[in-house]
Amino acid sequence: IGVFDSGLGGLTVLKYLLEYLPNEDFIYLGDLANLPYGNKSQDNIIKYSIKCAKFLESKNVKAIIIACNTASSYAYDTIRNSIKVPIFDVISPCIKEIIYSKNKKVAILGTEKTIESNIYANSIKKNTSSIQTYNKACPLFVPIVEEGLEGTEITQSIIDYYLNDIRKEKIDKLILGCTHYPILIK
């Protein structure tokens, strides 16, 4: 099974895949040459994502998981239409979890492009009108993770800066709309 992300964040997805599919073999591709995707143009996100998917397809994988929310937001349909193996994204399972919960207020954290795509809020609203969503772009989170700065004072200051407004909303659920973000959970 092929898994790709713009960098290290997709390893958070791979960790769970290894746990839940212990008998499968995986190929992980972190596109460090084009990291981060979250501030790139839509055309470049699609171009980089197709290149990653085609590379994984060339390795005879039986499926590909787009372990990047930004790539999932902009390139999923294009990849699905240009690759012969099944393609999975990281957004759809999250949306299903949210719409079948009893949450009323959901905050969505993501890269600039993922938030700009409004994919989470639109998908939630398409399935239920009872959930209020709050979008927040957190563009500095990816570089923090890629540089190994999680757990530092400066990181805590940046997290506080991004989350101050959301804390006031008394949200029920927080969507970490980038696979880098779980590394900052603590």
Q: pLDDT tens digits, residue range 33-91?
A: 998 999 999 999 999 999 999 999 999 999 999 999 999 999 999 999 999 999 999 99
Residue 68 bears catalytic tag:
yes
Catalytic: which of 52, 94, 138, 178? Answer: 178
Catalytic: which of 52, 68, 94, 138? Answer: 68
Whether 159 shows a pLDDT value over 90: the answer reads yes
Instruction: With H, G, I as helix, E, B as strand and everything else as coil, classify residue 118.
Output: coil
- What are the strands of the beta sheet with 64-66, ordered from one edge? 27-30, 2-5, 64-66, 87-89
Residue 178 bears catalytic tag:
yes
**Mean local confidence (pLDDT), 161-169:** 92
Q: What is the predicted pLDDT for the residue at 101?
A: 83
**Residue 171, phi-psi category: left (phi > 0), alpha (psi -120 to 50), beta (remainder):** beta
pTM assigned to the model: 0.90
Q: What is the mean pLDDT of the chain?
A: 95
Which two tokens mark 125? 């609203």
